[in-house]
Amino acid sequence: MDVQLRCTADAAIAARLDAWLHRWRATRTHGAREVLGVYWPVRGEPDLRAPMSGWHRAGHAIALPRVAAGGGALEFGRWTPATALRVADFGIPLPEPFVPLTPTLLIVPCVGFDQRGYRLGYGGGHYDRTLAAHNLPAVGVAYDGCELVRFVAGGHDRPMTAIVTETRTITPP
Our CA angle for 66, 161, 19, nearest 5°, is: 95
Q: 12 near 166, Cβ under 8 Å? A: yes
What pLDDT is attached to residue 129?
86
What is the side-by-side order of every strand in the sheet holding 35-37? 100-101, 74-79, 61-67, 35-37, 105-109, 138-141, 162-164, 169-170
What pLDDT is attached to residue 96?
94
Q: How many domains does the chain have?
A: 1
**CATH number of the domain within which 62 lies:** 3.40.50.10420
Q: For the segment 30-82, what is each residue's pLDDT rounded down to a tens digit?
A: 666 789 999 999 888 999 999 999 999 988 999 999 988 776 789 999 999 99
- Domain containing 74 equals 3-170
What pLDDT is attached to residue 31?
63
The predicted model scores a pTM of 0.92
Q: For the segment 82-138, what is each residue's pLDDT rounded down to a tens digit?
A: 999 999 877 889 999 999 999 999 999 999 999 999 998 877 778 888 888 888 899
